[in-house]
Structure 1
Amino acid sequence: MFNPQWLTSFATLAEIGSFTDSAERLGITQAAVSQHIRHLELQLGPLLLRSKRPLELTPAGRALLDYCQQVDRAQRHLALRLSDDDVTCGEVSLISPGSIGLRLYPLLLALQKHYPDLSVRHRFAPDSEVMDAVLHNRYEMGLVTQKPDDKRLVAEKFAEEPLELVIPAGASVHRWEDLEALGYIDHPDGQAMATRLLSRRFPGNPGVRNLPQRGFSNQIGLILEPVARGLGFAVLPRFARLAFARPAEIAVATDNVELVDTIWLIHRAEWPLSARAQQALRWLKNSMYNS
């Protein structure tokens, strides 16, 4: 049986790759982290290649990291089971893409206000990070835009979200030339989203890369700021547009062509969602289109 603090120090070091940063995250000294690793290496042999930057695990180190993750999963599973009787207290953890997260996080806070002993933990992340976080039990629930085929995950349809062509209030878009005149506001998923939607709206168009780019933001809550100021257009999922603080300053260019994405709820297949998580999901589904 290994000292739990030694294992925590090792797992943190394996994730971060730096003794200094690991010590800062753990709230202990760098010397303490080094001592914990030395204790483990006395029993297991070399765990790290210290000459590499970032640090590289030896085969023994990878085996120990797998063990740490198994212990962590077991502890989280036990905590969920032991605390599942009372849905009014404990943690609700959700990781999701930015757009739907903007819609759901305020609703989760409303649930927490109703049950003050709940603790809401939410993170914005792309699909790949969402799946990894759920698989490794860092979050109980996740939302993704692409249905995973990993048998360790259960995927259920949670919501639908159209992509929208968002333009400044008072502007109009009927032809590709109108988009060229406005210019494009990009974001990390912008090229892919714009290509998918605009290829349907304007078949045979030259492509979004040929449009004048008027700006870029990696903060989903700020992407529509330049649009509201008349500096260009953007293509975003609907919930991102609904979360914008000044809706009167933007508009949606509509026609008969729609592109609707499915949002999938994922969780581990080996055990059911906690009663708290199930309650939170019912709350979200009842609230997200009615508030």
Structure 2
Amino acid sequence: MLQPQWLRTFRALVTTGNFTRTAEQLDLTQAAVSQHIQHLEKRLGRLFIRQPRQLELTPAGHALLDYARELETADQRLTQRLAGNEDSQGDIRLITPGSIGLALYPRLLALQEASPGLNIHHRFAPTREVVDAVLETRFELGIVTLKPDDPRLSVTELAHEPLELVVPAGIEITCWQDLVELGFINHPDGLDMAARLLSRRFPGNAGVSTLPQKGSTNQIGLILAPVARGLGFSVVPRHARQAFADQQAIHVVPAPSAEAEVIDTLWLLSRAEWPLSARAERALAYLRQSLSNEERT
């Protein structure tokens, strides 16, 4: 086990790049700073290349710096968890797919404005990464569209998200051939979403694999940019469409009936072994109310 004081000295030396300034910052003698680094180098090997006016980290030094940062992050998580009864202070860590993240992040920022003591940490990620991040407690909350089956997870229904057929403004879609002539704008989940929605809108169609692809992007916020320019159509979740800036340039083709709609369930994930922090509970209540109001309008 490395002594915490040695690690603090190492981190300070990396920051200052100078033994004298490190000693002043930590209220130590320069000899004590050197001794701490010597202890570490005895255990781990050479940490610095000493240049005339700077210190350069060796591979061992970079590895130790990563280790020290991981310890600091773990310490912060412990502090946050032990302070979990405070609903207006601390970190709210949420990991989600792109479309729902576009909808939730502005809402969470509004919550942070109301309670500046809260710190919002949001990450966009695919389903597998969301599940892993919650299981590894790197994020307290996660949202996915495919319900996982893992006893370590608490899984509850959060909201519903319809898929939408989006075309350029002014374009009418009456048959499958109209889509063929327009062309498809793909994205990481595009073929799956299109297959599920278009099989209901156009029963007996030739299949999405037969549609000419006019482009693709993996950036959820940019999927509808080529659609807005008249370059093709796409199938996206409603939250992704609502977040697009130029609503006048696109058109959502309405479903002819309820049977022609596809509505995905959004599942909320957290670790099953311990209760959510008070701040996470507050954030969830805020988000549920906001999403519920949106679904009713």
Question: Residues of 2 paired with 1:155 and 1:37: CA distance?
Answer: 47
- Following TM superposition, the consecutive aligned residue runs of length 4 or more in structure 1 with deviations greater than 2 angstroms are 1-7, 26-29, 35-41, 71-82, 288-291
Distance 1:208 1:231 in 2: 17
Provide the C-alpha distance between the structure 2 equivalents of 1:271 and 1:168, rounded to a whole number of angstroms: 48
Aligned CA-pair RMSD: 3.1
Distance 2:72 2:157 in 1: 28
List per-residue Cα deviations over 1:100-149 (Å, max 9, x = no partner): 00000000000001111111000000100000111111111000111111
Q: Quote how far apart the aligned CAs of 1:39 are.
A: 2.9
Q: For 2:192 and 2:42, how far apart are their aligned partners in 1? A: 48
Alpha-carbon distance in structure 2 between the residues aligned to 1:185 and 1:217: 8
Partner secondary structure for residue 203 of structure 1: coil
Sequence identity percentage: 55
For 1:112, give the aligned amino acid: Q
Which amino acid letter does the alignment assign opposite residue 286 of structure 2? W
Q: Deviations over 1:9-36 (max 9, x none)?
A: xxxxxxxxxxxxxx9xx9799xxxxx96
Structure 2 matches for 1:146-185, cutoff 5 A?
146-185=146-185
Unaligned runs of 5+ in 1: 8-22, 30-34, 42-64
Q: Does the 8 Å CA contact 2:102/2:239 hold for their aligned counterparts?
A: yes
* Corresponding letter in the other structure for 1:269: A
Q: Retained in 2: the 8 A contact 1:112–1:118? A: yes
Alpha-carbon distance change, 136 to 171 in structure 1, aligned in 2, over 3 angstroms:
same
Aligned in 2, Cα 1:40/1:134: closer, same or farther, shift over 3 Å? farther
Other-structure match for 2:278:
275
User: What's the counterpart of residue 137 of structure 2?
Assistant: 137
Match of 1:218?
218
Cα distance in 1 for partners of 2:94, 2:239 equals 17
**Cα distance change, pair 75–85 in 1 and its aligned pair in 2 (3 A):** same
Aligned residue identity for 2:265: T
1:206 aligns with 2:210: no
> Which AA in structure 2 matches 1:39?
R
Summarize the Cα distance change of 1:116–1:176 in structure 2 as closer, same or farther, 3 Å threshold.
same
Partner of 2:98: 98
> 1:6·1:37 contact (CA, 8 Å) conserved in 2?
no
* TM-score, scaled relative to structure 1: 0.76
Q: 1:74 to 1:109 in 2, by over 3 A?
A: closer
* Counterpart position of 2:268: 265
Distance 1:37 1:86 in 2: 42
Partner of 2:196: 196
Query: Cα offset for 1:278?
Result: 0.3
Q: Which runs of 5+ in 2 are unaligned?
A: 18-38, 46-66
For residue 75 of structure 1, report the CA deviation from its aligned partner.
Answer: 4.9
Distance 1:178 1:103 in 2: 30
Q: Specify the structure having the higher radius of gyration (Cα).
A: 2
1:191-217 CA deviation, whole Å, 9 max, x = no partner? 111111112222222221211111111
Q: What CA distance in whole angstroms lies between the structure 1 residues aligned with 2:6 and 2:126?
A: 32
Mapping of 1:1-291 within 5 angstroms? Answer: 1-3=1-3, 39=43, 75=75, 78-253=78-253, 254-256=255-257, 257-290=260-293
Residues 45-85 of structure 1 show CA distances to partners (whole Å, capped at 9, x for unaligned) of: xxxxxxxxxxxxxxxxxxxx9xxx9x899856632342123
Q: In the TM superposition, what whole-angstrom CA distance separates every residue of 1:235-263 from its partner, at most 9, and x where no partner exists?
A: 00111011111112111112210111100
Conserved in 2, the CA contact under 8 Å of 1:73 and 1:137?
no
